[in-house]
Structure 1
Amino acid sequence: MIEYRNLRIALLGAGSVGSQVARLLLEHGEELAARVGAGLELVGVAVRDLDAPRDSAIPRELLTTDATALIQSADIVIELMGGLEPAREYITLAMNSGADVVTGNKALLATHGPELFAVADQVGAQLYYEAAVGGAIPIIRPLRDSLAGDRVHRVMGIVNGTTNFILDRMDLEGDSFENALAVATELGYAEADPTADVEGFDAAQKAAILASLAFHTVVPVEAVYREGMTTVTAAQVEAAERAGFVVKLLAICERLTDPETGVEGVVARVHPSLISRRHPLAAVHDAKNAVFVQSEAAGDLMFYGAGAGGTETASAVLGDLVSAARRHLAGGPGVGESTHANLPVFPIGAVTTRYQLTLVVTDKPGVLAQIAGLFSEHGVSVEAVQQTVATAPPGRSGDEPLTATLVIVTHEATDAALSATVAAVSSHDAVVRVESVLRVEGETP
Structure 2
Amino acid sequence: MDKSTINIGLIGFGTIGSGVVEIFNQNSDLIEKKTGKKVNLKKVVDLDITTDRGVKIDPSQLSTDVNDILEDPSIDIVIELIGGYEPALGFILKAIENRKHVVTANKALLAKHWNEIMSAAEKKNVRISFEASVGGGIPLLQPLNESLAANKIEAIYGIINGTANYILTKMSNEGLNFEEVLKEAQIKGYAEQDPTFDIEGHDTAQKLIILTILGFGAYVKQEKFHVEGITHITSEDIKFAKDNHYVIKLLGISQIIDGELEVRVHPTLIPKTHLLASVNDVYNGVYLVGDFLGPAMMYGQGAGMEATASAVLGDCIDIINNPLKRVPYGPQKSLVKSIKNIEDVTSKYYIRLTALDQAGVLQAVSGILNDFNISIESVLQKKTSNGDKVPIYMVTHEASEKNIRQALTIINQLEVVQSPSLFIRIL
CA distance in 2 between counterparts of 1:114 and 1:124 reads 15
Runs of 4 or more above 4 Å deviation:
331-336, 390-393
Deviation at 1:419, TM superposition (A): 1.6
How far apart are 1:68 and its partner, in Å?
2.2
1:139, CA displacement in angstroms?
A: 1.3
SS at match of 2:102: strand
Quote the residue 2:409 is aligned against: 423
- Give the letter aligned to residue 348 of structure 1: I
Q: Which residue of 2 aligns with 1:440?
A: 426
Please give the per-residue CA displacement for 1:36-70, whole angstroms capped at 9, x wherever unaligned. 12111111011012213324232211111111231
State how far apart, in whole Å, the 2-side matches of 1:335 and 1:361 are. Answer: 54
Specify which of 397, 403, 406 is matched with residue 411 of structure 1: 397
Residue by residue over 1:119-172, the C-alpha shift from the partner in whole angstroms, topping out at 9 and shown as x without a partner, is 111111111000000001111112211222212121111101111111111111
- Where does residue 236 of structure 1 map in the other structure? 237
Query: Which residue of structure 1 aligns with residue 341 of structure 2?
Result: 347
Change (3 A) 1:390 1:135: closer
Verify the 8 A CA contact 2:115 2:331 in the aligned structure 1. no
> What is aligned with 2:70?
71
Question: Following the alignment from structure 2 to structure 1, what is the Cα–Cα distance between the partners of residues 385 and 326?
Answer: 71
CA shift in 2, pair 1:65/1:342, >3 Å: farther
- Describe the SS at the equivalent of 1:383: strand
Aligned partner of 2:276: which letter? L
Query: Which shows bigger deviation, 415-424 or 86-95?
Result: 415-424
Deviation at 1:361, TM superposition (A): 2.0
1:327 counterpart (322, 344, 352): 322
Asked if 2 retains the 8 angstrom alpha-carbon contact of 1:68 and 1:90, the reply is no
- Residue 435 of structure 1 and its aligned partner are, at CA, apart by 4.7
One-letter amino acid matched to 1:337? G
Q: Which residue of 2 aligns with 1:260?
A: none
Distance 1:66 1:430, change over 3 A: same
What are the residue-to-residue correspondences of 1:141-156 with 2, within 5 Å? 141-156=142-157
Provide, for residues 79-127 of structure 1, a one-character-per-residue CA deviation record: whole Å limited to 9, x for no partner: 1111111111111111111111110001000111111011111111111
Q: 1:178-197 alignment to 2 at 5 Å?
A: 178-197=179-198
Q: Is the 8 A contact 2:136 2:308 kept in 1?
A: yes
2:388 is equivalent to residue 380 of structure 1: no
Q: Secondary structure at the match of 2:230?
A: coil
Distance 1:55 1:105 in 2: 23
If the length of structure 1 is used for normalisation, what is the TM-score?
A: 0.91
CA distance 1:235–1:333, change in 2 (3 Å): closer
Cα pair distance change 1:391/1:333, threshold 3 Å: closer
Aligned residue for 1:399?
A: none
Q: How far, CA to CA, are the matches of 1:125 and 1:289 in structure 2? A: 30
Note if contact 1:125-1:334 (Cα within 8 Å) is conserved in structure 2: no
SS at match of 2:322: helix
Q: Is the 8 A contact 2:227 2:265 kept in 1?
A: yes
Number of residue-to-residue matches in the alignment: 424
Deviation at 1:8, TM superposition (A): 1.0
1:316 shift after superposition: 0.7
The aligned runs of 1:15-30 (5 Å cut-off) are 15-30=14-29
Which region of structure 1 is more displaced relative to structure 2, 75-84 or 270-279? Answer: 270-279
Which of 290, 293, 300 pairs up with 1:295? 290
**What letter matches 2:303 in structure 1?**
A
Look up the equivalent residue of 2:79 and give its one-letter code. Answer: I
The residue type equivalent to 1:383 in the other structure is: E
**Separation in 1 of the partners of 2:282 and 2:326?**
38
* AA matched with 1:352: T
RMSD, aligned CA:
1.9
Shift in CA distance, 336/284, structure 1 to aligned 2, threshold 3 Å: closer
Are the counterparts in 2 of residues 120 and 336 from structure 1 also a CA contact under 8 Å?
Answer: no
For 2:205, the aligned partner's letter is A
AA at the equivalent of 1:316: A
For 2:298 and 2:231, locate their aligned partners in 1 and report how far apart those are by CA, in whole Å: 27
Which 5+ residue runs of structure 2 have no aligned equivalent?
none
SS in 2 for 1:356: strand
Measure how far apart 1:204 and its partner are.
1.1
| Aligned ranges 1:274-313 → 2 under 5 Å | 274-313=269-308
* CA shift digits 1:154-198 (9 cap, x unpaired): 111110111111111111111221221122122211112111111
In structure 2, distance between residues paired with 1:339 and 1:147? 17
Aligned to 2:365: 371
Task: Give 1:199's aligned residue.
Answer: 200
Gaps of 5+ in 1: 258-263, 394-401
Q: Which residue matches 1:245?
A: 246
TM-score by length of 2: 0.94
Residue aligning to 1:389: 383
Cα contact 2:119–2:331 (8 A) shared by 1:
no
Range that drifts further, 100-109 or 143-152? 143-152
The 2-side partners of 1:334 and 1:214 are apart by 14
Instruction: Give the superposition deviation at 1:321.
Output: 0.7
Distance change (3 Å), C-alpha of 1:195 and 1:55: farther
Equivalence for 2:81:
80
Secondary structure in 2 matching 1:32: helix
Task: Judge conservation of contact 2:412–2:419 (CA < 8 Å) in 1.
Answer: yes
**Residues 185 and 55 (structure 1), Cα distance of their counterparts in 2 relative to 1, 3 Å cut:** farther
SS in 2 for 1:385: strand
- Aligned partners of 1:242, 1:208: CA distance in 2, in Å? 34
Check whether the contact 1:166–1:181 (CA below 8 A) recurs between aligned residues. Answer: yes
- Percent identity, please: 35
